[in-house]
Chain A
């Protein structure tokens, strides 16, 4: 079945440093979603990418979808303590409306 791999599992950064998490799928995706889960909370939708090579920005967050639609990344510029949490990618293949989640990357920001 479809597998979505996400690295790294954990990332410690000093406040102000940049952060990137990578997501790779074993199959071509129709679209990919990103979610953020604060400690003790539930996943919250951030964004969806649909087009090959698509790049979207939300303030300090930049999301990319690979040309082959098999990989994606989330980059945070100048991290803040409010960025702490676990970031999940979720891939959807054509014909399925239920996403497959990666294992997530936990971001720890040290002030």
Chain B
């Protein structure tokens, strides 16, 4: 198993550009989520999905869109990049537990700089 993969690893954008961060998992996990990590701010949830066709907003959703057309893929779209979106983005997945949450598996991250 490759686990959770993310592409690209690094990206530099100009203000106003759009792009898609890719995330894929091969563990048949139902839960997938996107976090951004900024210095001193920990991991903040952007969007999450509890299964194909179902998405919901997290703590900091503004400026981002997601879709979940398959179990495996959960892309994150930046509609019009802003310098405030400079961050490290992590995708994570987990198996849908019954009474408690199972382990979150994180991808290697995408380091995004918006100029």
Contact = CB atoms under 8 A, between A and B. Distances in A.
Interface of A: 1, 6, 9, 30-31, 33, 35, 41-45, 48, 50, 88, 90, 92, 97-104
B108 interface: yes
18 contacts: A1-B59, A31-B100, A41-B108, A42-B107, A45-B103, A48-B100, A92-B100, A97-B31, A97-B94, A97-B101, A98-B33, A98-B101, A99-B104, A101-B35, A101-B43, A101-B45, A103-B40, A104-B42
Given A33-B103, A103-B40, 4 more contacts: A1-B59, A30-B100, A48-B103, A101-B44
Contacts of B96: 97
Interface in B60-115: 90, 92, 94, 96-97, 99-101, 103-109
Category for how many chain B residues contact A: 20 to 34
Contacts of A31: 100-101
Contact of A42 (B45, B58, B97, B109): B109
A90 to B, nearest CB: 7
Contacts, number: 61
Contacts of A33: 101, 103-104
Nearest to A101: B43
Given A97-B94, A98-B58, A43 B43 contact: yes
A42 B108 contact: yes
B41 A103 contact: yes
B97 A97 contact: yes
Contacts of B107: 42
Contacts of A90: 104
Contacts of B45: 98, 100-101
Interface in B23-41: 31, 33, 35, 40-41
Given A98-B31, A98-B58, A45 B105 contact: yes
B50 interface: yes
B82 to A, nearest CB: 23
A48 B97 CA distance: 13
A99 B43 CA distance: 10
